[in-house]
């Protein structure tokens, strides 16, 4: 074993967040001053809310900032079945008996990662209260089952996201939680930037990307008029990937946009007409 290999293996053994480090620069196209604002917030380890529609780039932004700051990123996709133990950890049986195993949030708190809770309002409110002590001057995570108070590492930051236009009022973030965070507002980028993103991520031509973006704008105009959400940038990338593989634009958009957005026949017909207007 050479020295470099030995050093790498030793680092992996001591770096408890090695699996969460981002080694390649994620592609992110800023649409405002969000990068600068995040940097300023991170200087104070300010907890942040990222608000915006599904598929507009919130997760990619956090990945880019974690890479930019050279911090590991621990991401959890929240859901209504998530418990506090899923976040902080639990006792489990192993070959030596019962042992405590830190959850992903606890790992980030102990060792200085950025913890990203995606769609945080999808989880139960009795679960989200465990983050409250991390979002004020205390910066501690109580592990009640273990009888331990974990003081947050100086590099730890908590980031959460949600879509305020999609969730019902029953799932909206409580004011007592919301007021503990700074917030960055996200939306779909302007047409030029969005087309550049589609070109980069899917490999289609600029002309096709612009038509996809124009189609997306048409679907977004139908929000609350048959659609809960218009086509996201992610959907455009999916359609572009199929087009790059030789699938026709009509079939690509039918699969990745029309059928994905709605089951209603009338709304689907309206979307179909939008697709035909762009690609026939």
Give the model's pLDDT for residue 14. 78
Give the model's pLDDT for residue 5. 47
**Tokens 């009509």 sit on residue:** 250
CA 184, 188, 189, 195 torsion-angle sign: positive
* Residue range 49-93, pLDDT digits in tens: 999 998 999 999 999 999 999 999 999 999 989 999 999 999 998
**Percentage with pLDDT > 70 across the chain:** 93
Task: Check residue 32 and report its DSSP letter.
Answer: S
What's the mean pLDDT in 13-31?
92
> Is the confidence at residue 170, as pLDDT, over 70?
no
Q: What is the mean pLDDT of the chain?
A: 91
Name the token pair of 42: 């991170």
Give the model's pLDDT for residue 12. 46
pTM recorded for the entire structure: 0.88
Terminal Cα-to-Cα distance of the chain (whole angstroms):
61
109: number of CA atoms within 13 Å, CB side?
A: 25
- Return the higher-pLDDT residue of 11 and 247: 247
Question: Which CATH architecture fits 13-185?
Answer: 3-Layer(aba) Sandwich (3.40)
What's the mean pLDDT in 162-188?
80
Alpha carbons 195 and 204: distance in angstroms, whole number: 10
Backbone angles phi, psi at 155, to 5 degrees: -90, -5
> Is the confidence at residue 7, as pLDDT, over 90?
no
87 contacts 103 by C-beta, under 8 angstroms: yes
Q: Per-residue confidence at 161, pLDDT binned at 50, 70, 90?
A: very high
What's the mean pLDDT in 135-144?
94
3-state secondary structure 43-86: HCCCCEEEECCCCCCHHHHHHHHHHHHCCCEEEEECCCCCCHHH
Q: Per-residue confidence at 224, pLDDT binned at 50, 70, 90?
A: confident
Q: For residue 23, how far is the Cα from the chain centroid?
A: 18
Query: Which residues are CB-neighbours of 237 under 8 A, at least 6 positions away?
Result: 197, 198, 201, 202
What's the mean pLDDT in 11-29?
87
What's the mean pLDDT in 28-45?
97
Helix 233-244 vs helix 191-202: crossing angle, to nearest 10? 40
Alpha carbons 183 and 177: distance in angstroms, whole number: 12
> Is the confidence at residue 13, as pLDDT, over 60?
no
> Is the confidence at residue 6, as pLDDT, over 70?
no
């Amino acid at each position: 074993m050479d020295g470099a290999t030995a050093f790498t293996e030793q680092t992996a053994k001591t770096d408890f967040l090695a699996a969460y480090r981002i080694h390649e620069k994620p592609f992110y196209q800023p649409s405002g001053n969000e990068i600068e604002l995040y940097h300023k917030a991170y200087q104070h380890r300010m907890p942040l809310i990222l608000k915006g529609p599904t598929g507009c780039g919130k997760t990619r932004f956090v990945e880019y900032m974690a890479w930019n700051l050279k911090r590991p990123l621990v991401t959890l996709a929240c859901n209504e079945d998530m418990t506090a133990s899923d976040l902080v950890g639990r006792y489990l049986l192993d070959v030596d008996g019962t042992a405590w195993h830190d959850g992903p949030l606890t790992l980030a708190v102990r060792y200085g990662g950025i913890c990203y809770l995606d769609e945080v309002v999808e989880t139960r409110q009795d679960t989200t209260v465990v983050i409250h002590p991390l979002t004020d001057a205390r910066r501690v995570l109580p592990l009640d089952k273990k009888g331990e108070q974990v003081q947050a590492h100086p590099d730890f930051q908590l980031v959460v996201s949600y879509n305020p236009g999609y969730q019902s009022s029953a799932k909206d973030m409580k004011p007592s939680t919301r007021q503990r965070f700074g917030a960055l507002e996200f939306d779909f980028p302007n047409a030029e930037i969005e087309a550049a993103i589609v070109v980069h991520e899917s490999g289609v031509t600029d002309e096709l990307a612009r038509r996809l973006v124009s189609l997306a704008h048409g679907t977004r105009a139908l929000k609350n008029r048959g659609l809960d959400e218009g086509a996201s940038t992610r959907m455009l990338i999916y359609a572009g990937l199929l087009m790059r593989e030789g699938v026709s634009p009509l079939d690509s958009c039918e699969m990745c946009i029309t059928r994905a957005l709605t089951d209603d026949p009338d709304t689907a017909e309206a979307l179909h007409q939008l697709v035909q207007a762009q690609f026939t």
